[in-house]
Amino acid sequence: MSSDLKDILVVSIEQAVAAPYLSSRLADAGARVIKIERPEGDFARNYDTFVNGDSAYFVWLNRGKESIVLNLKEKSDLKVLKNIIKKTDILIQNLAPGAFDRLGLKLEDLREEFPKLITCSITGFGEKGPYMKQKAYDMLIQAETGLTDLTGVPENEIEKGRARVGVSVCDISAGMTALNAVLQALIGRSKTGKGRHISVSLFSSLSDWMNVPYLQYAYSKKEPKRCGIRHPTITPYASFQCGDKLEILIGIQNEREWVNFCKYVLENEKLASDKLFSSNSLRVKNTKMLEKIINEKFEKNTRDEVIKKCDRGGIAYGRISNIEQFSSHPQNQFIAINAPSGEIKMVAPGAEHDGKHFFAKNVPKLNENGDSIRKEFK
């Protein structure tokens, strides 16, 4: 675990994914994180039991935290929370809009009383606007932002073709957005001595990621189409099956790569200057024709043979992997942490600091630290 945020106290009234993502990364950076749980616990504890009886989501997002159960409708427990807040640097909450106010804890009043306090609210649609009170879960936001309409395969007579992104991308994007904002607020506080309120929603976080299709539509009326494992505006940038039935994703980003692809992989230099394929716009226009040529070539080679040709020509490629293959991917790095069920191995955080991963190790049991926290903040 890092010591970068040592002496920073975080209290998080949180559940599910987005807020726990934020607080877990602060814990990895060395902050002390007190997780406030309802009597039945964060419901993410029971999303599944796939990790030796523990939930995969909960294990991933709650290392390095202290757990205390507080029933915030009880005056004595609410007092404990208020006492914790008095010493808190960062207050995170992802309750429904207005729920925190109904507890008598208006964030603006808290920040007036404690000017250095940084508060962060994570909601589904934001703290204002016509959808403010609407329930919001990850896949619902994928639908509202249009992401599901961009994801999947072309529509046919049997199905619409839309698909959910395979991980909780809205929750994760909101957690990442909140983390960026909180760290910025900490830097700002070091200069001004004042905290600030941060409002992040699942909708706004993913909407930001939707800017490219939005801009394409807003200024050119171009409506992106679902195209499976294929880039909508670059060709060839798609998946192809090789002679051994294994798939490879080829990505050509510029004309120099296109020339090399024709020379070294397709072994047909003249194709690069063919009037049907000599620019990306022409290749997109004639995608089916070009992909037929590529498929015919790849069917005569194993995937390893295609990879050797790509390496020789400096062509970017990716092996189409399933989760079993990902689990043993040679580029993966792993860490060991302590979950309630015992030690487990998980994929390491994405950033290395001077060649090292900073991470907290212990995932708390429900109310594991309740007695000591109550004693400290009585």
Identify the domain boundary among 272, 289, 319.
319
CA 332 to chain centre: 18
pLDDT of 157 reads 56
Q: Is residue 215 part of a domain?
A: no
Q: Is residue 304 part of a domain?
A: yes
Residues 13 and 131 in one domain: yes
Mean per-residue pLDDT, 151-156: 81
pLDDT of 222 reads 85
Residues 300 and 162 in one domain: no
Residue-wise pLDDT for 40-59, tens only, equals 999 899 999 999 999 999 99
Residue 184 belongs to domain spanning: 9-209+332-376
Residues 52 and 100 in one domain: yes
Residues 308 and 342 in one domain: no
Q: Is residue 349 part of a domain?
A: yes
Residues 43 and 176 in one domain: yes
Given pLDDT bands bounded at 50, 70 and 90, which one contains residue 158? Answer: low
Is the pLDDT assigned to residue 159 strictly greater than 70? no
Residues 130 and 156 in one domain: yes
Is the pLDDT assigned to residue 220 strictly greater than 80? yes
Q: How far apart are CA 83 and CA 285, in angstroms?
A: 65
Residues 189 and 50 in one domain: yes
Does residue 82 sit in helix, strand or coil?
Answer: helix
Contact between residue 120 and residue 92 where contact means Cβ atoms under 8 Å apart: yes
Q: Is 348 exposed, middle or buried (0-12, 13-18, 19+ CB in 10 A)?
A: middle
Identify the domain boundary among 319, 350, 368.
319
Q: Is residue 4 part of a domain?
A: no
Q: Residue 251: what are its φ and ψ, rounded to 5°?
A: -130, 110
Q: How far apart are CA 261 and CA 250, in angstroms?
A: 10
pLDDT of 73 reads 87
| Neighbouring-strand partners of residue 241 | 247
pLDDT of 23 reads 97
Shortest CA distance to 7 belongs to which of 109, 89, 123, 98? 89
Mean per-residue pLDDT, 189-195: 95
Q: Is residue 227 part of a domain?
A: no
Q: How far apart are CA 287 and CA 290, in angstroms?
A: 5
Residues 37 and 158 in one domain: yes
Domains in the chain, number? 2
Q: Is residue 198 part of a domain?
A: yes
**pTM of the prediction?**
0.89
Shortest CA distance to 173 belongs to which of 18, 350, 26? 18
Contact between residue 70 and residue 37 where contact means Cβ atoms under 8 Å apart: yes
Q: How far apart are CA 182 and CA 21, in angstroms?
A: 12
Q: How far apart are CA 2 and CA 358, in angstroms?
A: 5
What kind and span of H or E run contains 149? Answer: helix 147-150
Residue-wise pLDDT for 75-92, tens only, equals 899 999 999 999 999 999
Q: Is residue 48 part of a domain?
A: yes
Q: How far apart are CA 69 and CA 38, in angstroms?
A: 6
Residues 105 and 202 in one domain: yes
Residues 284 and 315 in one domain: yes
Q: Say which amino acid occupies 268.
A: N
Residue-wise pLDDT for 331-366, tens only, equals 999 999 999 999 999 999 999 898 999 999 999 999
β-strand 342-347 against 32-37: which pairing, if any? Answer: unpaired
Does residue 61 sit in helix, strand or coil?
Answer: helix
CATH assignment at residue 18 = 3.40.50.10540
Residues 297 and 339 in one domain: no
Residues 205 and 83 in one domain: yes
CATH assignment at residue 269 = 3.30.1540.10
Q: How far apart are CA 186 and CA 195, in angstroms?
A: 8
Is the pLDDT assigned to residue 190 strictly greater than 80? yes
Q: How far apart are CA 117 and CA 186, in angstroms?
A: 10
pLDDT of 1 reads 65
Q: Is residue 98 part of a domain?
A: yes
